[in-house]
Chains A and B, each alone.
Chain A
């Protein structure tokens, strides 16, 4: 009995946390999922105003696309890291891609622009051992990036999570 009650309480709280954290959105490829945390707003804003916004979402560049398994395994791992740091308030002022993330990003540059590279390889400093972003560093997120680079940016609002959220038409529109 007690056991069932405990599991029930646990499951209920789990559901609640899943709701307020907008957990299901993380399964999608929607860029809005990334700004569940306001930390990502400057990066969302700079992406939204970049050339890539028309053709690529956050996930197109920031998660691997070799297989569905690789994609979700990476998402889970990276998500754990992000949420841990965010919860403990350990985020730096200027986010920098980890070595692993740089590798993922580079592979994704090549996934779309590989043909282009085969034509220019060796020309004007294009070398296979360099990362695209070493030179094209302003392409994805602009010249300056930090948590405070776009403080008052307009981004889609967070979904309402209280009782009102269940029947709030805005939530549907956001989706």
Chain B
């Protein structure tokens, strides 16, 4: 061996190392591929999970359910994220009053004129109800009803009527958990069930047998425990009631309220007795094409998902616009852009009609208020007040919806057309009264271009109304003494 051959030795060993590294990498990659194939084969045979530990009755802590249902629990926790925004909805909280200050005038004298934000995910329910300026010391416990799975437990403990009759503040210590598993599921079988009496009672009054309701309908009805129009029956009882006895349409509800003595508040400017519609999402959805085809709320807002071999329901309840692929494309074979374009097209047109209706209503409230200030009597203003109240109820039936015009586009357009036409009828009747007092047909427009300006504008009216009410109460108290 001569010293000349020495340099070739490292060269040979480098090739060796390269072969070693190359084959190691290659075998590693192949092994990895092999194990994913085996994993995937395994997935195909995974069945449904069973309860890993029993769940107590009224278990309101969703994490206890999450032990056995990690996928459902994880997606439910995702409702905590407030990060999606669609043109009209989404989970990022919006200040509706700042977005559209007309609302302040429409709700003058009512809590909604103080604050009204867009809703956030289910996990924010308790936090958000505590934060709203609409809650005060007089607020009844009824307002908790839709916010927490702790509610059925305290209802069972205190009795349903007694629960409603108590004050909101009474349950601050009892109610801690946001909307979760127990609100919709049976703790033993996981079957969907109605946990709130108001829906059960409304269905029973309609003559429905709850035991005969199918699973597919339950996938909407569990939502209808809360996403509906409701009112608190009785000044002291505050008994949560759905005005469904005559049907679910705007007309059927108007008819229902006409036959009841219930009013939500008296409008500070016009003096009309008003009904505030809550969010009749379920009722409006029932009148659309999707409901007619047997689609449930969960089909679009909680679409099925496959993870490995397991099918489950995505519990991150959200706008389908943020999840078009899983929600819409299961049935609609168009591209995502095309689907979004169709939906937003409907919602934009809907928004236009809403604003038309709001303008008519604001003008009518102001015009009645001005006539009243000029000396028009309650008798003269009775008809215009009745009409503004009805027109606003129709508008609110649509406006309070979280579907933003998508759930039943033709039906909501029809109701808005009616709202506008009733408001105009009110304007015509009022024009005669106003003429008597030397006023032009409508009151001049006022600057309500921002939330602050609008709130400033209604302030004296709200104060005058509150002062009058306080004086009346004082007089009544004194009269009772003597």
Contact = CB atoms under 8 A, between A and B. Distances in A.
A14 B325 contact: no
Contact of B325 (A10, A39, A93, A143): A93
26 contacts: A2-B19, A3-B19, A5-B23, A9-B27, A10-B23, A10-B27, A10-B30, A13-B27, A13-B31, A13-B34, A14-B30, A20-B34, A37-B40, A38-B43, A38-B44, A87-B36, A92-B325, A93-B305, A93-B306, A93-B325, A94-B329, A96-B329, A146-B330, A149-B330, A151-B304, A151-B306
Given A2-B16, A38-B44, A93-B306, A146 B34 contact: no
A70 B330 CA distance: 31
B20 interface: yes
Given A6-B20, A17-B37, A143 B331 contact: yes
Contacts of A9: 23, 27
Contacts of A144: 330-331
B26 to A, nearest CB: 5
Considering the complex of A and B, which 9 residue pairs feature the smallest CB-CB distances, nearest first?
A6-B23, A151-B311, A38-B44, A147-B306, A148-B304, A148-B311, A13-B30, A148-B306, A93-B326
Determine which residue in B30, B37, B331, B333 has the highest number of CB atoms from chain A within 10 A of its CB, and name it. Answer: B37
Interface in B295-321: 303-306, 309, 311
Contacts of B329: 94, 96, 146
Contacts of A147: 305-306, 311
Contacts, number: 85
A21 B331 contact: no
Interface in B396-453: none
B22 interface: yes
B54 to A, nearest CB: 25
Nearest to B336: A96
Interface in B328-347: 329-331, 333
User: Main SS of chain B's interface residues?
Assistant: helix
Interface of A: 2-3, 5-7, 9-10, 13-14, 16-17, 20-21, 37-39, 41, 86-87, 92-94, 96, 133-134, 137, 143-149, 151, 158, 161
Contacts of A7: 23
A158 B23 contact: no
B340 to A, nearest CB: 15
B471 interface: no
A38 B330 contact: no
Given A10-B27, A17-B34, A20-B41, 14 more contacts: A6-B22, A13-B26, A13-B30, A13-B31, A13-B34, A16-B34, A94-B325, A94-B329, A96-B329, A96-B333, A146-B326, A146-B329, A147-B311, A149-B304
Given A87-B33, A94-B326, A148 B305 contact: yes
Contacts of A86: 40
A96 B306 CA distance: 16
A98 to B, nearest CB: 12
Interface in B26-59: 26-27, 30-31, 33-34, 36-38, 40-41, 43-44
Given A38-B44, A144-B331, A20 B305 contact: no
A86 B43 CA distance: 13
A20 B31 CA distance: 11
Nearest to A133: B333
Contacts of A20: 34, 37-38, 41
Given A3-B19, A10-B26, A13-B27, A21 B37 contact: yes
Contacts of B41: 20, 158, 161
A140 to B, nearest CB: 11
A3 B43 CA distance: 37
Determine which residue in A21, A94, A144, A151 has the highest number of CB atoms from chain B within 10 A of its CB, and name it. Answer: A94
B27 A17 contact: no
A5 B34 CA distance: 20
A149 to B, nearest CB: 7
Nearest to A20: B37
A15 to B, nearest CB: 10
A102 B243 CA distance: 50
Contacts of B43: 38
A66 B326 CA distance: 34
B68 to A, nearest CB: 18
A7 B38 CA distance: 24
A37 B37 CA distance: 9
Contacts of A96: 329, 333
Contacts of B305: 93, 147-148
A27 B284 CA distance: 53
A86 to B, nearest CB: 7
Contacts of A2: 16, 19-20
Nearest to B331: A144
Nearest to A159: B41
Nearest to A6: B23
B300 to A, nearest CB: 12
Contacts of B38: 20
Contacts of B26: 10, 13
A21 B39 CA distance: 11
Determine which residue in A13, A14, A92, A161 has the highest number of CB atoms from chain B within 10 A of its CB, and name it. Answer: A13
Contacts of B22: 6
Contacts of B37: 17, 20-21
A2 B44 CA distance: 40
A96 B325 CA distance: 10
